[in-house]
Structure 1
């Protein structure tokens, strides 16, 4: 080596050694290389120094760092082929002339990989000897490799510091959304130029600020690597030609399973090192563990809330509610707890089915028939569970289209008693957890409903005449007493079937009973729900009309006389005695009955098949 070059080389080495000892920021490899290039430019006294990285896919070197104006070299590349001889050997450097001067390109490589090309542009063609260039090349290869390894090591250290902070933070949170947000935030800090997606197997929450995509299980060939990562629980790496990029799919897994896949997209073809892959795997596993804990915590909270709901519901239902009140309460509870738009309860009575009072209005309309028939067929005939997220029953635009449907059978002692149906217009509105909770609610409440029905039936039997199904005499007395305490007026009608003994003697007592039933049915069909029809005794019946004037009482009596004469078979007639009471007069139930009895006696004596009224002071036929 010539004396001048040897002196230059020694100075060059000293400067590099001093720089290496004093430089302390090795994390950003590009910045480290730029500082090296500036030092080389200064010590070798050249115009420009640039470093080109190797792209194995294109087999070219692309510009990474330069001391020149980057805009001039932005699209510059160096083909690897210029360093290849016909026998396959590599040239250590190339020298060529250009408009800028003499361009020297030193090929830098280690045993395992190509580091890149160091490009030096000089004015003087014969300034550096081949021996000097080889020596510079050897030193640069060692230095660049050490810088790269040192930078990588420091970068790894900082990455694991971030991972430690990430682990502490996500394990302190019990919210799924917070865990997912921290995963993306940490990755963006470590790989600012990369793109990230969370591919989740199922997700029912809205994460507007997170890059979440659903993990498709079928028909998505472009997502095969992601599915492979999800199924096997192992990291998958994929390289795409168009667009040029490398993708890592890291499974987010906990102890109990895999919850999704973390998609990491590098904006160019990148060789991920073993350490980098291990780091990403560790981060994904840490996220999976925290996500699993958050899910378990949310599940436990949901379970506690579900148990509280069941407990509160059963406590309310067991307060001896009337059957209709219990149904109304359950409808309100389901609407509030599940966000349901329509809730209906069906009851089976032999082969008949009826919608219970208390169901939402939709189920009392004709539009609900197709939904009811669909559910009944699935449950009663096919014995299938009905939990549908995108059901299509109605095609008409005039009929509400409910896409989400849940239906639960009401079973008692292995007998299908009825069905609860829950609807919502939005598809996939209900979750399977909601369906399981609805099952529990209906299962626990069915016995309460059955008992309430039996209790009310027993009460009805106690206060009802067995033959006519009208109220019994004692219930009539109780209701009139309560009315005379609470109301201002009322009317009372005493009814007697004319010549009833002749019916029994002519047709027999069985036909006589049938006539009594016919008359009772006509009475029930012609009075209000609040009115009380009762069997007074034998062939005598009674009707009390609370808050009904005498005029109304007379009108009802006359209507019954006419309808019974026309609608009975064998044909019979009735006689009616009508009385009434007012609040401002001294009166009693006994006096009310006495006046009606006297009026009835007069009606029977004056030709029957008529109505007689007994006022407080006079009696007259109408």
Structure 2
């Protein structure tokens, strides 16, 4: 090999090893080949788990009879030759080899000859070895960057899960992270019921999983996981005929297992077939595995919070929850209305029908309360036979109307027939007030209602008045 080619090889080696970008390395390789061998043809055969470059003469390295010499080169790591007397050309196959393996095969075709020029073999061999080393370095760098990114994702997620944040906030965070990291179109978290008959989508899942169309995928994955309890990696699933035209082909699903028990699962989906790599599948498994206990703890904390803030009999909120809600509202809102409710003659009901019927009466009134308030309003058990409603941002006249409607509904619908009395109080930002005084005024109004005939609504402001 002459001095000019040595200098050229030295220059290209510097360029190749100065970059950690696979696209740049492969581009420089072909630029050099065009400069040195303008009359030769060349192709780079890469295995399908590497990269795709539509603008370069790169083809997939397939294991078939047409690529025997290329496969032999790839497997052995040694240069191979092939010639054709009929077509009058000779071919050299040079491995792109690094220290850890072979990353592809460079095919160089010399025209108008039955034997590849011996003087060119050394240069092409050294060039391919140089490119192989640079390609290995670039791929190792990219792998290390992916590993760092994966570890950061796991670390951030674990930190979030162990920070005792509300369940909705936790799963919303995880959903956003997974969607970004995996380029997924849909991300869902599911919790099994006690008997594992149902899988409930948890808050934080993407909105698709709360639609009817998603049910076919949820049920399919649920059935598969319950049979094998193993992660699922599906590249081209087709359930479109059962799913009203919606079609997701790439699906990864990982079970959430705690103490060898299947508690739930995570699904991520994309419409394109074979969209997710096997590396991403392993990452999702690792992420869910690291998060399983924290996810379960988050769910249990939420369930415990509901138990603590809910009255076990009426399923209304607890007195403490109501207190906290009113205090926050008086800091942040402009106004609010409080209704204190008492079941008339409740002791007589217990004495006449028994305490079990007394409990059923309480439940009936609690159900009517829930049916007459908004999602943001608070229905609570105040204590004994007394219940309460707090209406944030609601003026007095609207609150009184709700109280009157409740009194009417109870009188019409209760079995056995009962009535209730209501005391209503109101606050706004225009005058100094406290939540203790709001309670006191409602309690005084309720006392007045009970003493003046029952089955009515009494408003407490500066002067008590019946309504």
Give the alignment's TM-score, normalised by structure 1.
0.67
Check 1:303–1:373 CA distance in 2 against 1; reply closer, same or farther (3 A cut): same
Post-superposition CA distance 1:461-495 (Å, at most 9, x none)? 33333333323323323332333343332211111
CA distance in 2, matches of 1:474, 1:572: 27
Post-superposition CA distance 1:115-157 (Å, at most 9, x none)? xxxxxxxxxxxxxxxxxxxxxxxxxxxxxxxxxxxxxxxx566
CA distance in 1, matches of 2:98, 2:280: 25
**Do structure 1's residue 479 and structure 2's residue 325 form an aligned pair?**
yes
**What SS does structure 1 have at the residue aligned with 2:99?**
coil
**What SS does structure 2 have at the residue aligned with 1:471?**
coil
**Do structure 1's residue 596 and structure 2's residue 449 form an aligned pair?**
no
Is the 1:576–1:611 contact (alpha carbons within 8 Å) kept by the matching residues of 2?
Answer: yes
Post-superposition CA distance 1:590-614 (Å, at most 9, x none)? 4433443343344445554443334
1:465-476 paired onto structure 2 within 5 Å = 465-476=311-322
Aligned to 1:359: 205
- Structure 1 counterpart of 2:29, from 183, 194, 204: 183
**What SS does structure 2 have at the residue aligned with 1:476?**
helix
**Do structure 1's residue 517 and structure 2's residue 373 form an aligned pair?**
no
**Do structure 1's residue 461 and structure 2's residue 312 form an aligned pair?**
no
Cα distance, 1:565 vs. partner?
A: 4.5
Aligned to 1:428: 274
**Do structure 1's residue 404 and structure 2's residue 250 form an aligned pair?**
yes
CA distance in 2, matches of 1:478, 1:414: 39
CA distance in 2, matches of 1:300, 1:496: 67
Check 1:397–1:388 CA distance in 2 against 1; reply closer, same or farther (3 A cut): closer
Aligned to 2:219: 373
Cα distance, 1:415 vs. partner?
A: 2.7
Is the 1:518–1:568 contact (alpha carbons within 8 Å) kept by the matching residues of 2?
Answer: yes
1:546-565 paired onto structure 2 within 5 Å = 546-565=392-411
- Structure 1 counterpart of 2:19, from 150, 173, 178: 173
**What SS does structure 2 have at the residue aligned with 1:444?**
helix
Is the 1:579–1:613 contact (alpha carbons within 8 Å) kept by the matching residues of 2?
Answer: yes
Post-superposition CA distance 1:161-212 (Å, at most 9, x none)? 5444444442343332233223323333343212111111135645344211
Aligned to 2:107: 263
1:64-463 paired onto structure 2 within 5 Å = 159-203=5-49, 205-217=51-63, 220-240=64-84, 244-272=88-116, 277=121, 280-350=124-194, 351=196, 352-395=198-241, 399-463=245-309
Is the 2:84–2:114 contact (alpha carbons within 8 Å) kept by the matching residues of 1?
Answer: no
RMSD over aligned Cα atoms = 3.1
Is the 1:523–1:533 contact (alpha carbons within 8 Å) kept by the matching residues of 2?
Answer: yes
Aligned to 2:428: 582
Is the 1:378–1:385 contact (alpha carbons within 8 Å) kept by the matching residues of 2?
Answer: no
CA distance in 1, matches of 2:436, 2:18: 79
Is the 2:446–2:458 contact (alpha carbons within 8 Å) kept by the matching residues of 1?
Answer: yes
CA distance in 1, matches of 2:16, 2:399: 78
Check 1:234–1:483 CA distance in 2 against 1; reply closer, same or farther (3 A cut): same
Post-superposition CA distance 1:397-445 (Å, at most 9, x none)? 9744333322222233333332222223333333222232333333333
CA distance in 2, matches of 1:562, 1:200: 79
CA distance in 2, matches of 1:348, 1:491: 39
Where do 5+ consecutive residues of structure 1 fail to align?
1-154
**What SS does structure 2 have at the residue aligned with 1:478?**
helix
Cα distance, 1:364 vs. partner?
A: 2.1
Aligned to 1:88: none
* Count of residues in correspondence between the two structures: 465
